[in-house]
Amino acid sequence: MAELRWRRIGLLLVAFVAAAALGAPCLGEDLSPEEALRRYLSAIQDQRFDAAYELVSKAMKTDRKTGLVKPKEVWVKESQYIFAFSEVKIFDFKVGKAQLEGDEAVVPNLLSSQDKFLNQLGIDEYELYTLIKEDGGWKIDRQKEVIEAAEIAKWFPKQPP
């Protein structure tokens, strides 16, 4: 009986270490909105779209035509295609402090990237991410670029507009 219990403990320990080594959130880990966004951006930067999938809301995974949540494999393939076709390069990102309001958080991010369509010159982009509490954790739900000087000053006070 004791041997069986030790085997179970050993298996749980191996599973826990494997999950941690693969970058999966540990059991009971409650990421802050800022950390959830950092992990998402890091996954996108490294083209680990399977990891990014776990950090986005159901709305971000939903097919607009069918209204159904896309399976992970489909979402990952679409993301890989868009990333490659657009020749996206993410050089750096700086996640700011979240503003929380209930189960929603707005997190500023200063993105340094380049692509062949919208940002050929690699100009820094001021972004606001909206995260929501979903399935017990913070998930990226929306993203918008900030272009108004007053809004840049509000969300990025140490950055020149």
> Residue 81 — φ and ψ, nearest 5°?
-65, -50
Is the domain covering 31-155 a CATH 3.10.450.50 domain? yes
Fill in the DSSP letter of residue 131. E
The mean predicted confidence, pLDDT, of the chain is 87
Do 114 and 161 form a contact (C-beta atoms < 8 A)?
A: no
**Each residue's pLDDT tens digit, 109-119:** 999 999 999 99
pLDDT at 146 over 90: yes
What tokens were used for 152?
A: 């840049």
CA 121/CA 116 separation, integer angstroms = 9
Per-residue DSSP letters for 5-23? HHHHHHHHHHHHHHHHHTT
> For the chain, how long is the longest CA-to-CA vector?
68
Per-domain residue ranges for the chain?
31-155
Give the type of residue at 48: R
Strand, coil or helix: 109: strand
Q: Alpha carbon of 115 to those of 71, 126, 157: distances in Å?
A: 27, 16, 26
Q: Which of residues 8 and 29 earns the better pLDDT score?
A: 29
pLDDT at 28 over 50: no
